[in-house]
Structure 1
Amino acid sequence: GSAFCRAHSDLVESWLVDLLGDEPDVTVVAVGSLGRKELCPYSDLDLMLLHRGRRDIGAVADRLWYPIWDSGLSLDHSVRTVKQAISVADDDFKAAIGLLDARPVAGDLALGYTLVEQMEHLWQRRARRWLAVLADATEDRHRRAGEVAFLLEPDLKEGRGGLRDAHALGAAALASPVVHDAAGVTGPNEVLLAARVELHRRTGRAAERLLLQEQDAVAAALGYSDADALMRAVSAAARTIAFVGDDAWRRVRSWLVGPRGRRAGGDRPLGPGLALRDGDVVLTAAADPAGDRALVLSATAAAAAGGWSALDQLAAGAAPPGDPWPDEARHALVSLLGAGPTLVPVVEALDQRGLVARVLPEWTAVRSRPQRNAYHRFTVDRHLWEAAVEASALTRRVSRPDLLLVGAWLHDLGKGYPGDHTVAGVALMGRIAARMGFDAADVGVLVTLVRHHLLLADTATRRDLSDESTIEAVAEAVGDVTTLELLAALTEADSKATGSTAWGPWKAELVHELVARTSVFLAGGERPQPTTETVADPVVARARAALADGATVHVEATWPELIVAAPDRAGLFADVAGALSLHGLSVLAADVWTSDDGVAIEWFRTESTFGREPDARTLEADLAAAVEGRLPLDSRLAERVRTYAGRRLATARRAAPRVHVDNAASGRATLVEVRAPDGIAVLYRITRALAGVGLDVRHAKVATLGAEVVDAFYVVDAGGSKVDVSRRQEVQRAVLTALARA
């Protein structure tokens, strides 16, 4: 990283010395990456030709700039006297902050250092004005570029916690006496700089976003064991830079406001050993960090409740909670987890000081652990904190908010350990919950929450909720209504904390329906009618009328939702799915229901590839042609695949498709569950393969999770019976063969 950049910078500087030659009263001043000696392989050259009023400076500039342009390098250049440069900087914030990196590299170096000295003095004189601008610009950049630590494909330069933040800290430290941690980002800056150098080398251009397809090669070049190790190091480095930056900008804003703008008055007691002083939680003289095992969590809970900063004082010698925890520590943890959105910045401050691992040693395994797929937006540890934030908004729905909050916080802790993360998480929760001081019954509930944290979402989106076997299986797993309510809230919190595609109105409705039916089952009451059938009944009536008038198909669209009704037949679902794909509609979710008199109702939630609704008349005409068998779906879809094959969601690696055939999941049909990479017409290929082996789809649950589809089909054979066990491999081969052709 820095070694390459220094060597590259030295090489370029030597060239500039040769280009300038022995010119008096002129110096070449490097700005930007060359000024910092951080010149990456494809960084721009940012140069100022500084002179003492020479009349022939234009000719000197031409002799310098033209060879640089001829070499193919990108050049940002200017010609100034010292007075002109300072005048421009005084009027232009961008020019001013750029000149903070100024470094003379050729010619009259003394002239260049005159500019450097005057620029530093100007920056310090204008500190209050420019620091406010820099703070606002930093926040705006963060909003645009996102977070380096948590994005699947981070912007190493512009993102929050990136290289630009480290540079901004240096500028702030030069102007304000309250910023003193800028040197603490040197190591993290080196991690990001090394990744940026290798990214430039790999791509052959000035790339700043570390895309998935480049991560393996960059990791190998830097000596990491794999891309996950690289991204974990990048995440940890960015978190440190972001944390130091957040703390610095908080200090700067307080300094800019001045004493009169801060809260007046003395200390405000917050609890044993704690007080609020000038916006910070501080330890009082009565505090006993080494002996009070609840102090870390008590102080953090107080800080989170008010949105204040955590304390450096706790990092030195605060005692861990021990085994078992005192009741005060457990209560403080629950209070902390229930703080809502203010939780994340406070626990990030604790994490940077090593205090989260002191409270929970098992946390180290998930710290900065990446989840390299398009479905998850956060690292494992950040996801768990975000799940607690989401759960805090749902505590009034459950009778035991404490169990919900702790369950949400720890439900994915097993992802840091070998083997299946749920199995590992169950063992971890059993030990941790007991250590926290929960009684045996509560430990059992928390273990159940971890064991079944995926149950409701998976069942609701992949199983037939009108099938009694589905409800019985869920009821048997959860055991009682109290646990069911907790699991429902955990499911929502987990999904919302996962990413934008993990929770929406349709999934929420399905989970609500599953919970309602299971709750009634556990209470021994009458089962509610499935939502699908409730929705389908009026559609069937309208479809019957349309079909009686001679229509081939009945279509109702309320975008992005679409309902298609037609006389049921083998392969109907496949043909409809194929027609939708032809119109650039990706199926995010789907459901199928067949009336007693043979009218198939097919519901789809779609997303347009082109960001606009298809023409309704053309779509309906193609649907009718598909239902009647007049549409050459195979050839037209093959052409579409060839045209758009390069477009797919980012994912770390494309897992091999899996097909599971299960006769025990339902009392009336065979379940065929398919997991496969998403792509054009995948749903059509799967259902066409099922029709090809003589199977009729009676019910389907289709879901797109990031770059993967997870589809469940309830099928029967031509006689209306379950698929014979002897045909299971035949069905699997047919679907896998169809997917292999994609």
Structure 2
Amino acid sequence: MNEISHPETGEEADRADKDRLEAGRPDISRQRQIIDRRALETGLRSALVGEDDPAQAQPRVATLLREALQAGRAEIERRFEADRHAPEAGRDVGRHTSFLIDQLIRALHDVTTGIAYPIANPSAAEKIGIIAVGGYGRGELAPFSDIDLLFLIPYKETPYCEQVIEFMLYRLWDLGLKVGHSVRSIDECIRQAKTDLTIRTALLEARYIWGDQDLFDRFQKVYRKEILQGQGEAFYHAKLEERRLRHERYGNTRYALEPNIKDGKGALRDLQTLRWIGRFLYGARSSEEMVERGLFGKADAAKFDKAERFLWTLRCQLHYARGRAEEKLNFDIQPEIARLLGYRDHAGTSGVERLMKHYFLMAKSVGALTRSFCAAVEAQNVRKPLLRLPAGMAAIGLRRRELDGFGLEGGSLTVPNAKHFERHPVDMLRIFAVAQRHDVDIHPITFNWLAQSVRLIDRSLREDPKANALFMEILLFRKSSLAGGDKGGPEATLRRMNEAGVFGRFIPDFGRIVAQMQFDMYHHYTVDEHTIFAIGILYQVEHGLLIEEAPITSSVVHQVLSRRVLYLAVLLHDIAKGRGGDHSALGAEVAEQLCPRLGLSAEETETVAWLVRYHLLMSNTAFKRDIDDPKTIADFAAQVQSIERLRLLLVLTVCDIRAVGPKTWNGWKAQLLRELYNRTEEQLSGGLITAGREARIAAVLDDLKAQLVDWPPEAIEEHLARGHGGYWLSFPVPLLVRQARLIREAELEQRPLSVDYNVDHYRSMTEVTIYVADRKGLVSQLAGAFALSGASIVDARILTLANGMALDTFTIQDSQGGPFDKPARLARLSSTIGRMLDAPQRIPAEIGKLPRLANPAVQAFPVAPRVLIDNKASATHTLIEVNGRDRRGLVYALTAALTAQNLQISNAKISTFGHRAIDSFYVKDQFGLKVEAESRLKTIRDVLMAVLNDGESDAPAVTDMLAANRRRPRSSTNAR
């Protein structure tokens, strides 16, 4: 990189620094309404005069400073609230807050050195310069940000300097300010700046506040000479590497739904990084000066200022809403921030979703500005470009300057000039295909020209067969020997196309979901980012990279007849999100219009549309229905109709779930999908699930007997007599063996309660089997015990054996979706189960003591409670599906309500999607029949809705249910 002589040198720089001494003051109207420094200083002097020991005046000094700080902050906040929609509202807060702190420090310094520790003729060693560094040095302070100070001294710290600095710092700490400080000489500053990038950056923004200004001026001269001159290349690369590592720490995506608006990708720190580089290399302190130095065009400078203004206003509003320094825009505060900033519900999109879409578009704009800025730096400094030559292209790059019609510069594709794409619009797609095919990058300057040319993508280009063929080549990219490396297949290329704006222009329906937020706790990314992630996961599945996590899917993916159908189904499955209707049905309509344009046949188009329409069918069936029920399999198979569709749907479902966010996929979900797939494949292949039922039961019993060879024959026969056909087919043989041994031990030892655990780390779950005398309300009592122990139920199999004993098997997880496996927690769970079964009347009160919500952010999300009752889903049971806000003890409250209605619970599927609980119960009435009377169904629905709508605590309602239940005479059949 060619070194740039820093433009500010010598007397010119000195004058510029002095001119900026009071920078911001002319921009701050009615300054004394924020703080009257002279009045404050007068008060402080009065408090200190006459005190032999300055510490004695500390309470009065603290009071005066605190009052000034609180009044100033209140005035700044009042101005912000009155004008928060003005473009400069946030940056005004930053300037005003910086001004307030400046004045406090100046007044405190003057009374400290003039009254508390006066010295008539300070020696050179006793001089102190108070310098703002970091963000404070820029004159930008968010309402509750840290204050970074440098106490600049000539040489080593003297006792006098130590007294003054200590007195000032303690007074600032008394105010509750978070002060980061250092005490350094000029030599120490320079020495540490040379070795520490953070210090070098902080000192780049050093600003004189008060004290000895000559000391500060000397420091500035030395810094320019020793640090700025000749270090531009190192600083440039170091800051970009620092940026890359910071992005990794914060998830490496601009589209996380709870973004850090200061340090995340596309956030304020990225803009500040550009400022630092521009200032270090070129002395550019503003976007206007960046334009003058050729780092930005005027349009980019306007975008820079717009993004900075937006982010500053958002950050200040977040600080004020939290009442503290907070940089993460969490779900629970997003609706309030949206309301305060004036975002309203509109056209099927909520105000909070509109706010977050605005944020994500700004974050995307910051990414584009960074590319534009780096392209300009690269253009001006060609000796050592930012982008290194990829290993796979090293030999080619050394031999040639052209690749498939594009230029090569430093191993990156280029075009001759900014007009190239206007003359050859199809190259806006072809350049991505060539880059993908040869595993090379697109040069930053060319990428910038490309992004500026997306307006040229019009109907004629969208309908160009060559352009559509190129898009499909990119989407269906498969790793080959041509690629020297592999940057993630189509995922990386599609993401770059999205960043450039090409993706959304070429596929306008995709453009509608760019930066589209889904305001819930289940999804972790914007819709476009989720979709691109899903494409990347499909590529990994296809290349065997997820064979351990998804072995069946990794095999099935190679059996599908059309890769084009599969990739387009994944691409389009959420294409209609945010349109105010059923996104699956609307997405199918988009697929029917788009697929022919992309070259798919009518048959392929129909299959893609079907997959998009039913892309939630498999997960809903696996996670919400009893897949041991033959009718569930029969109904699912009737909708799927073909093995090819089943294969495609399995792969699409797995990619969709895995792309939702970290920890969304686990072994338990994998098992449910695998079992549903296998049983449906058997049905579609002609082997009915119900066919040969007796033979299947006989085979299971033979296997079970073989596992119990250590038992006396009469004990085996006695155990087999306890079960029934449905029981033997409900569990795998290893679990049947565990249950058999549990039952035998309990009977031999005459234990009233037996609990067995089977931790399955692969499936991320723990099976809990409970053998106890059957009783009314047993399921709800056990659910209460699990809730009190912090365990989440995800599945329940409820059985009553022929001997009248209950054998209930629950699948549980911890609050993070992992196995409930800590020995101490399991022991506590056993104890809790015993206590709650002995005294079930205590459950409501004990649950009432728990925090109602495991995660308070859940309260931010609207959930419309709903109860669906289906008598067609099962041949033998009534299916009740309950939707509502997740909370502690919800399963207990629901099962208690069902018990109070004299219903037997035979099976339960408990699912939580972020903040939303979707629980399904298979029930019978007290006579073992379906519930079909309309009046009875209405009562059940009303009771469950009352539980879901319970605002503060479900304890009273549940207590009433149980009390009423105890007053009723026991029926001959237990309502569990």
TM-score (normalised: structure 1): 0.88
- Once residues 19 and 69 of structure 1 are traced to their aligned partners in structure 2, the CA distance between those partners, rounded to angstroms, is 13
In structure 2, the partner of 1:164 is: 269
| Pair 1:197-2:321 in alignment | no
In structure 2, the partner of 1:684 is: 892
Deviation, structure 1 residue 163: 2.1
| Pair 1:236-2:355 in alignment | no
For 1:545, which of 744, 749, 753 is the aligned residue? 744
**Can you list the C-alpha shifts for 1:521-568, whole angstroms capped at 9, x where unaligned?**
223224397984335543443344234323444433233412314366
Aligned pairs (5 A) from 1:428-439: 428-439=590-601
The worse-fitting range, judged by mean Cα deviation, of 641-650 and 367-376 is: 641-650
| Pair 1:350-2:502 in alignment | no
For 2:807, which of 570, 584, 600 is the aligned residue? 600
Deviation, structure 1 residue 175: 5.1
Q: Which runs of 5+ in 1 are unaligned?
A: none
In structure 1, the partner of 2:766 is: 561
For 2:878, which of 670, 686, 703 is the aligned residue? 670
The answer to whether the 8 A contact 1:513-1:531 is kept is: no
The answer to whether the 8 A contact 1:44-1:75 is kept is: yes
State the AA in 2 paired with 1:44. D
Structure 1 pair 511–248 and aligned structure 2 pair: CA distance change class (3 A): farther
Deviation, structure 1 residue 415: 0.9
In structure 1, the partner of 2:526 is: 379
State the AA in 1 paired with 2:323. G
Structure 1 pair 246–687 and aligned structure 2 pair: CA distance change class (3 A): farther
Deviation, structure 1 residue 451: 0.7
Structure 1 pair 485–200 and aligned structure 2 pair: CA distance change class (3 A): same
Structure 1 pair 649–428 and aligned structure 2 pair: CA distance change class (3 A): farther
State the AA in 2 paired with 1:75. V
3-state SS in 1 of match to 2:398? coil
3-state SS in 1 of match to 2:130? strand
**Can you list the C-alpha shifts for 1:567-591, whole angstroms capped at 9, x where unaligned?**
6655333222222222221224444
| Pair 1:278-2:410 in alignment | yes
- Aligned-residue CA RMSD (Å): 3.6
- Once residues 903 and 295 of structure 2 are traced to their aligned partners in structure 1, the CA distance between those partners, rounded to angstroms, is 70
For 1:141, which of 239, 246, 252 is the aligned residue? 246
State the AA in 1 paired with 2:196. D
State the AA in 1 paired with 2:757. A
Structure 1 pair 343–476 and aligned structure 2 pair: CA distance change class (3 A): same
The answer to whether the 8 A contact 1:32-1:98 is kept is: yes
Deviation, structure 1 residue 338: 4.3
In structure 1, the partner of 2:145 is: 43
- Once residues 611 and 238 of structure 1 are traced to their aligned partners in structure 2, the CA distance between those partners, rounded to angstroms, is 41
State the AA in 2 paired with 1:561. T
For 1:572, which of 756, 778, 795 is the aligned residue? 778
In structure 2, the partner of 1:620 is: 830
State the AA in 2 paired with 1:230. L
| Pair 1:480-2:480 in alignment | no
**Can you list the C-alpha shifts for 1:138-162, whole angstroms capped at 9, x where unaligned?**
3443333335733333222222322
- Once residues 386 and 648 of structure 1 are traced to their aligned partners in structure 2, the CA distance between those partners, rounded to angstroms, is 26
For 1:4, which of 87, 93, 102 is the aligned residue? 93
State the AA in 1 paired with 2:886. D
In structure 1, the partner of 2:610 is: 448
- Once residues 256 and 426 of structure 1 are traced to their aligned partners in structure 2, the CA distance between those partners, rounded to angstroms, is 43
**Can you list the C-alpha shifts for 1:414-468, whole angstroms capped at 9, x where unaligned?**
1131222223222222222233232221111111111101000000111122323
**Can you list the C-alpha shifts for 1:590-634, whole angstroms capped at 9, x where unaligned?**
4456678876342313216898444545533543565xx4233x5
The answer to whether the 8 A contact 1:464-1:699 is kept is: yes
The worse-fitting range, judged by mean Cα deviation, of 382-391 and 37-46 is: 37-46
In structure 1, the partner of 2:347 is: none
In structure 2, the partner of 1:334 is: 472
- Once residues 668 and 132 of structure 2 are traced to their aligned partners in structure 1, the CA distance between those partners, rounded to angstroms, is 57
Deviation, structure 1 residue 720: 1.1
State the AA in 2 paired with 1:39. L
State the AA in 1 paired with 2:635. A
Structure 1 pair 48–470 and aligned structure 2 pair: CA distance change class (3 A): same
3-state SS in 2 of match to 1:538? helix
- Once residues 502 and 590 of structure 2 are traced to their aligned partners in structure 1, the CA distance between those partners, rounded to angstroms, is 19
Aligned pairs (5 A) from 1:46-445: 46-50=148-152, 57-58=161-162, 61=165, 65=169, 67-106=171-210, 109=213, 111-121=215-225, 122-127=227-232, 129-131=234-236, 133-146=238-251, 149-174=254-279, 180=295, 185-225=304-344, 226-242=351-367, 244-245=369-370, 255=385, 263=394, 264-267=397-400, 271=404, 273-274=405-406, 277-283=409-415, 289-290=421-422, 294-305=426-437, 308-310=440-442, 311-315=447-451, 316=453, 319-320=457-458, 322=460, 325-338=463-476, 341=488, 343-395=490-542, 396-397=557-558, 398-445=560-607
Bigger Rg, structure 1 or 2: 2
Deviation, structure 1 residue 388: 1.0
State the AA in 2 paired with 1:638. A
| Pair 1:729-2:931 in alignment | no
In structure 2, the partner of 1:583 is: 789
Give the % identical residues.
28
3-state SS in 1 of match to 2:767? strand
The answer to whether the 8 A contact 2:853-2:888 is kept is: no
**Can you list the C-alpha shifts for 1:292-333, whole angstroms capped at 9, x where unaligned?**
665333322333455543433433265457487444444433
Structure 1 pair 87–655 and aligned structure 2 pair: CA distance change class (3 A): same
The worse-fitting range, judged by mean Cα deviation, of 419-428 and 485-494 is: 419-428
The worse-fitting range, judged by mean Cα deviation, of 377-386 and 214-223 is: 214-223
The worse-fitting range, judged by mean Cα deviation, of 597-606 and 26-35 is: 597-606
**Can you list the C-alpha shifts for 1:463-487, whole angstroms capped at 9, x where unaligned?**
1223233223222322322122111
Deviation, structure 1 residue 496: 0.1
| Pair 1:519-2:681 in alignment | yes
The answer to whether the 8 A contact 2:866-2:882 is kept is: yes
**Can you list the C-alpha shifts for 1:664-705, whole angstroms capped at 9, x where unaligned?**
111111000011222222112111211111111122222222
Structure 1 pair 592–255 and aligned structure 2 pair: CA distance change class (3 A): farther
Structure 1 pair 595–426 and aligned structure 2 pair: CA distance change class (3 A): farther
Structure 1 pair 416–656 and aligned structure 2 pair: CA distance change class (3 A): closer
- Once residues 623 and 65 of structure 1 are traced to their aligned partners in structure 2, the CA distance between those partners, rounded to angstroms, is 56
Structure 1 pair 338–645 and aligned structure 2 pair: CA distance change class (3 A): same
State the AA in 2 paired with 1:336. I
In structure 1, the partner of 2:61 is: none
- Once residues 267 and 317 of structure 2 are traced to their aligned partners in structure 1, the CA distance between those partners, rounded to angstroms, is 16
Structure 1 pair 473–116 and aligned structure 2 pair: CA distance change class (3 A): farther
The worse-fitting range, judged by mean Cα deviation, of 467-476 and 359-368 is: 467-476
Deviation, structure 1 residue 94: 2.4
Structure 1 pair 589–302 and aligned structure 2 pair: CA distance change class (3 A): farther
- Once residues 403 and 411 of structure 1 are traced to their aligned partners in structure 2, the CA distance between those partners, rounded to angstroms, is 12
In structure 2, the partner of 1:458 is: 620
- Once residues 643 and 602 of structure 1 are traced to their aligned partners in structure 2, the CA distance between those partners, rounded to angstroms, is 25
TM-score (normalised: structure 2): 0.69
In structure 2, the partner of 1:533 is: 731
- Once residues 393 and 26 of structure 1 are traced to their aligned partners in structure 2, the CA distance between those partners, rounded to angstroms, is 61
- Once residues 621 and 584 of structure 2 are traced to their aligned partners in structure 1, the CA distance between those partners, rounded to angstroms, is 16
Deviation, structure 1 residue 2: 0.9
For 2:851, which of 606, 620, 644 is the aligned residue? 644
- Once residues 625 and 29 of structure 1 are traced to their aligned partners in structure 2, the CA distance between those partners, rounded to angstroms, is 64
Deviation, structure 1 residue 408: 0.8
- Once residues 390 and 892 of structure 2 are traced to their aligned partners in structure 1, the CA distance between those partners, rounded to angstroms, is 68
